[in-house]
Structure 1
């Protein structure tokens, strides 16, 4: 039976842990996850989603603060893992990922080598992709560059945003991880070097400014930005009176700028729609949140908050 150490932190990793634990061909001998973090007014310690599930399953949990610590590495070595499976965890030192005799594999939420980096789901949506997927690969020195094992495609539907696509990919990732581990156990897993191409797009960590809506951009590009950041961390802008506004859903409408509706103009009937003139059309805001208030459909927002702007007749 294959002895596995699992590493992961957010709920994206939970279905994979559950799938591996449920397969009779392997034994998850330990789970490595992030240390508990204080959260909320009372600064109550918040356990990672992976830790909560691991405890429910009765699995040993390690929460190192320093992966290079000799004490941690000695404890990790004591579990005598044949293979390590990593999903949504932090970068590992070579002494850790190279420890098992079968190596370490990672599940990445893109079709590598496209979208290497920390935020592949977000960037695939921001760039308007229609297909993405999940990849299993062997860990190597450079991030997300190891030899490919398997890939499964997942369609991106027009209505998908980060939240819905995240849900699809975490389930697809679990199925792929199980298939990969089964192939490694059987000695049939392929190992194909990645080939860099000129059209590769990176997936760097999101910054706050990533979400700022620039109305000089085409309307469809802004819709994709909204989709890629909804429901978190969320695209944002500021109303003409300066108040911050988060945007969770939007659609593109035709209509080039004119003298009456110049670039950046806000348009509303005060009842049912709120739009902004962009480079090639109008961004129709559908689901918004005023700073300090709750998320709501734009019709409810317009009925509840006075906007200082010109209303359409």
Structure 2
């Protein structure tokens, strides 16, 4: 078996979350023979081509970069094969065809933001908070056909604070995941890791929580739900894409809020709001209130509730 630094590694990733892992591998002395990331895309008012976070890092470090439009393109596959990688690593990238993930002799490993088999899917950080979980974690595993189902290599737990939002958990998780990835590569190099098949529940009474993609309907607040459920939804979607409701017919994104356990009057309709027009704006849930703290009204900038109330005229 090759030593840790001798392994020829191809890294695949696109957003900032993946940069932490690539940086950890580089700093650990790994031999990164190629970096695969998304093609540059036009963005902004000028529609200028924007590089992915991973590409920017790879350019700065002088790493060999590939940006295929299609992963089954014969020219790309030939180039990939010519890099003669021992191992491929995927962090926050797109789905790979088998011809890609099965190419290197040591296979392809993925870093996933949950304690698999829980929260398989596209948005594990968001859904763990939305569902009120007290802990989550990071898993490294071997890729195979079905998404997020491969044998587990290593896992590390992370406690979710009661007031933590998805953005904060994301930042914590990318660092924990980066360290776990380096530990995983070391373990694979010295053959000290035993692959473990994912253990599925034997009863259908407690199905595994899933981490499906976040859609607009997911983000719309249902005020008929309990305070805790609404509070967790707001945390789980902050800062992006953000939970929302409507105020005087305009979309109101809510980035942070507080629970109010005071009893709700029996005649208060769920979704109705109360405000002193100076310091607080609270919405009625089925069993109490959510007092919003940081918001963004359609067409306006994001601001604290006091600043918002100072300038807003209610209909």
Per the normalisation by structure 2, the TM-score is 0.95
Question: What is the distance in 2 between the residues matched to 1:178 and 1:286?
Answer: 39
Question: What is the distance in 2 between the residues matched to 1:87 and 1:116?
Answer: 14
Query: Are 1:224 and 2:228 counterparts?
Result: no
Query: Are 1:213 and 2:217 counterparts?
Result: no
1:64-115 residue CA offsets vs partner (Å, 9 max, x unmatched):
0100111111110000000001000000000100000000000000000000
Offset of 1:260 from its aligned partner? 4.2
- Corresponding position of 2:104: 100
Per the normalisation by structure 1, the TM-score is 0.96
Task: Name which of structure 1's ranges 287-296 and 143-152 shifts more when overlaid on structure 2.
Answer: 287-296
Contact 1:251–1:284 (8 Å) recurs in 2: yes
Question: What is the distance in 1 between the residues matched to 2:271 and 2:7?
Answer: 59
Question: What is the distance in 2 between the residues matched to 1:234 and 1:45?
Answer: 26
Contact 1:287–1:297 (8 Å) recurs in 2: yes
- Corresponding position of 1:290: 297
- Corresponding position of 1:13: 18
Q: Which of 228, 252, 255 is residue 259 of structure 2 equivalent to?
A: 252
Task: Name which of structure 1's ranges 259-268 and 171-180 shifts more when overlaid on structure 2.
Answer: 259-268
Query: Are 1:22 and 2:27 counterparts?
Result: yes
- Corresponding position of 1:204: 212
Query: Are 1:305 and 2:308 counterparts?
Result: no
* Superposition RMSD in Å: 1.0
- Corresponding position of 1:311: none
Q: Which of 67, 83, 106 is residue 71 of structure 2 equivalent to?
A: 67
Question: What is the distance in 1 between the residues matched to 2:275 and 2:245?
Answer: 16
SS of corresponding position for 2:103: coil
Count of aligned pairs = 306
Question: What is the distance in 2 between the residues matched to 1:297 and 1:15?
Answer: 31
Unaligned runs of 5+ in 1: 309-313
- Corresponding position of 1:51: 55
Question: What is the distance in 1 between the residues matched to 2:236 and 2:266?
Answer: 32
- Corresponding position of 1:31: 35
Q: Which of 65, 70, 80 is residue 76 of structure 1 equivalent to?
A: 80
SS of corresponding position for 1:105: strand
Contact 1:257–1:263 (8 Å) recurs in 2: no
Query: Are 1:277 and 2:284 counterparts?
Result: yes
Question: What is the distance in 2 between the residues matched to 1:246 and 1:74?
Answer: 47
SS of corresponding position for 1:175: helix
- Corresponding position of 1:190: 194
Offset of 1:188 from its aligned partner? 1.3
Question: What is the distance in 1 between the residues matched to 2:207 and 2:25?
Answer: 35
Question: What is the distance in 1 between the residues matched to 2:160 and 2:261?
Answer: 23
SS of corresponding position for 1:42: coil
Offset of 1:256 from its aligned partner? 4.3
Question: What is the distance in 2 between the residues matched to 1:154 and 1:134?
Answer: 8
- Corresponding position of 1:242: 249
